[in-house]
Chain A
Amino acid sequence: MAPRTPLSRLRAAVERVETRSEPSAAGPPLALGWDGPDAAIGGGLRRGAVHEWLTGDPDPSGGHWWGPPLGVLIHAAGRALREDAAGRRAVWVGRRVWPHPRAVRAAALLERSVFVAPRGDAERLWAIDLALRCAGVAVVVADGSGLGMGESRRLQLAAGAGGGVCLLARPWWERREVSAAWTRWRVAPAPSDWTDPRWTVELLRCKGVRPAPEDARRWAVRREHETGDVRVAADAPDRPGEAAGPATGWAARRRA
């Protein structure tokens, strides 16, 4: 909406200075369909920006294995394509982030996906950059392990030029690595008595948003088997005998 009076223009300018953010030129943010997280980052994932998703064990001693949070990534990519009228594509860079096709419930997502197999770190970075700059790509899901600040900055610029959403999966032990990503999340499995997979999603950082206290930036989410969507599990009863609250998974680990 264009500000009409000088006062409202000034107000918008002050707001931009306060939040240190220009509204994205690439369109409205990509809502994840999760009320709490969406509200915390200004309506959803910003388009034309990089979003990092960290998973795995706190220490790399566990065999250095980490799996990208594919449940959440499939959900976000599916939402990005669902509301896209021009039929743009989703590009999955790196074998590690290729989902099992039978787990992708949205047929449209599978039909409009391109899977890229780079042979090394340099090619992976090049492929992510190229896909982000392409006008026919709505979302790039990529293996973001081993990226430094320079590479991260390059991807952020490429995303800004192309207007797509970039979802990078990174291992948790790289959390100390500086990055130019717009938002940073942590996804950890959460135990429950239910048969659907559940995770705790934590917002570690969002540009232009003041950090919330720890309890207010953690949410429990669950994957619906039928649709493949991931939803906030507000009504989820927790494991009996454990402390209530979305941080059950964390509490359990600390005790163990």
Chain B
Amino acid sequence: MGQDRQRQVVLACCESAREAGVTPGLPVAEAGGLLPSGARVEAYTPESDAEALRAIAVWSRRFSPVVAPDPPDGVLLDATGCGPVHGGEEQLVGAVVEGFARHGLTARAAIAPTFGCAWALARFGDAEAAVVPEGGARNAIAPLPTRALRIDADVDAALAEVGIERVEHLLNLPRSTLPPRFGPDVLLRLDLALGHAIETIEPVRPSAPPEAERVFDGPTTRWDALELTVRGLLAEVCDALRARESGARRIEVELDRSDLDPTGFALSMSQPCRDARHLWSLARPQLERAHLGFGVEGVRARASRLGRLPHEQRERWREGAAVADAATERAVAELTDTLTNRLGPGGALVFEPRESHVPERAGRLRPVGIGGPAAQIDACPRHDRPTLLIDPPEPVRVMALTPDGPVMSVNWRGEDRRIVACIGPERIGPEWWAGDRSGRDYFKAQDERGQWLWVRRDTADGRWSVHGVWA
């Protein structure tokens, strides 16, 4: 609803209102009579429309990296090269329409060689989603009304007066006659739609990552000043993160040194974090190690990788057990972050199972926070395995009944062990795809003190080794 010559008129309406007979331009009083009671009539506010359009443009960045809002009611996407990602341009345009439909919005979309052509087809074309191939712009816009060229309403009216209603009529006129008769705008718009003139758009940028900076009066090497500054910067970044309901996965701190190159360090977190105290505990050892040179002139902190982290208050609504779990997860994340930041990425590891019968390949330890969530671990074969795997296996001298038979005695680490019980062999075939050349026979052997050893014999060369202990 909006003002038009002292009357309140309908500017836009939804599909069901249109079915009831409401059309844009109708006085609001008349429209109210047509609509069932309870229909919502809202005042037109250009600012909130522009804001919503910008939000839609930001959301549309999932389809293309270059997106611009096109007021009042459109969004322009530079779809060059984006088709193959979605399996083709038809699929892309379908995905756009479908994506808007999921949010309850009706959208019409078109992909064309020029923005002008796509603009025209999306508004005046027959199909909800259209794709114009390269070089097809002229044919595509020819049957459309002249309004589809984005020309002013009074110019359009002037064209209509002389019987020019469709773009094809304009195309049939000599180019040189257009500007003197209808103004320069018509020819420009026509050229834009046909690709004879180049059109640029101003893409939306996602908001810049949270950043904070302080500049000192002069170079300083004072620890207390630096500590205070870095803590302040981290708190500032955390405040900015809180406003966006996100947390930092990585924070870069840069120190501008006088007469030297800037130095810096990075904090990496396994889970999104915006706890200034935890960040400081990670930053402190790194700051202590930083070489300050002749003094630091300025400090900058920037959250370069972000992750979603809901507001703290949300947690109050969770169940008791979930709160305890969340607290545990946070505490563990802080622990692993601190470990990784001091010991390096291999400092804190979690287990990832693998399907292999070869004992040393039964799983892999991977750094915390890299890769997906922990896999299901219950699919392991339930063989009897030693608690301690000696990797790499230690060669031993073995006395056996037959060359490949039960073990009689083992000389391991310079100590002769008489074997009183021996179970086996358990044969594990070579995994040729992993580069194994030899299978192994394993014997579980008990020495006279009661210690069980896992004695291995390579089937290819007959060499013996101890591969594990039931410790």
Contact = CB atoms under 8 A, between A and B. Distances in A.
B335 A136 contact: yes
A191 B351 contact: no
A193 B446 CA distance: 10
Nearest to B385: A102
Contacts of B349: 114-117
A87 B471 CA distance: 28
Determine the main DSSP class of B at the interface with A: mixed
A70 B328 contact: no
Nearest to A193: B421
A130 B339 contact: yes
A111 interface: yes
A116 B343 contact: yes
A102 B449 contact: no
Contact of A69 (B343, B382, B471): B471
Nearest to B373: A111
A136 B413 contact: no
A62 B328 contact: no
Nearest to A96: B388
A238 to B, nearest CB: 11
B15 interface: no
B331 interface: yes
Interface in B315-331: 321, 324-325, 327-331
B449 A252 contact: yes
Contact of B413 (A63, A130, A189): A63
A102 B343 contact: no
B264 interface: no
Nearest to A199: B450
Interface in A107-147: 107, 110-111, 113-119, 123, 126-127, 130-131, 134-137
A23 to B, nearest CB: 23
Contacts of A256: 448-449
A197 B334 contact: no
A122 to B, nearest CB: 11
B324 to A, nearest CB: 4
A87 B383 CA distance: 28
A55 B380 CA distance: 29
A226 B414 CA distance: 33
B346 to A, nearest CB: 6
Interface in A57-107: 62-63, 65, 67-71, 74, 85-89, 91, 99-103, 105, 107
A191 B469 CA distance: 14
Contact of B450 (A62, A86, A249): A249
Nearest to A134: B335
A91 B351 CA distance: 12
Interface string A47-60: 00000000100000
B468 to A, nearest CB: 7
A171 to B, nearest CB: 12
The residue in A101, A110, A199, A226 that gathers the most chain B C-beta atoms within 10 A of its C-beta is: A101
B444 interface: yes
Contact of B387 (A70, A113, A137, A193): A70
A107 B378 contact: yes
Given A100-B387, A103-B387, A135-B328, A62 B380 contact: no
Interface in B112-168: none
B217 interface: no
A218 interface: no
A223 interface: yes
Given A100-B388, A100-B468, A192-B450, A117 B346 contact: yes
Contacts of A198: 450
Contacts of B450: 188-192, 197-199, 249, 252
A118 B339 CA distance: 9
A67 B332 contact: no
Interface string A147-183: 0000000000000000000000000000000000000
A182 to B, nearest CB: 23
A107 B328 contact: no
B384 interface: yes
Nearest to A239: B420
B307 interface: no
Contact of A136 (B331, B363, B468): B331
B353 A137 contact: no
Contact of B330 (A131, A136, A190, A252): A136
A71 B387 contact: yes
Nearest to A62: B415
Contacts of B221: none
Given A62-B413, A67-B388, A101 B338 contact: no
14 contacts: A62-B413, A67-B469, A68-B388, A86-B325, A87-B329, A102-B385, A103-B385, A107-B377, A115-B350, A131-B335, A135-B327, A136-B330, A136-B332, A223-B470
Given A102-B383, A134-B332, 11 more contacts: A70-B471, A85-B321, A100-B359, A102-B359, A107-B376, A107-B377, A115-B365, A136-B327, A136-B329, A223-B470, A225-B384
Q: Which 8 A-B pairs have the closest CB atoms?
A: A136-B331, A191-B450, A70-B387, A67-B471, A189-B450, A136-B332, A100-B389, A197-B470
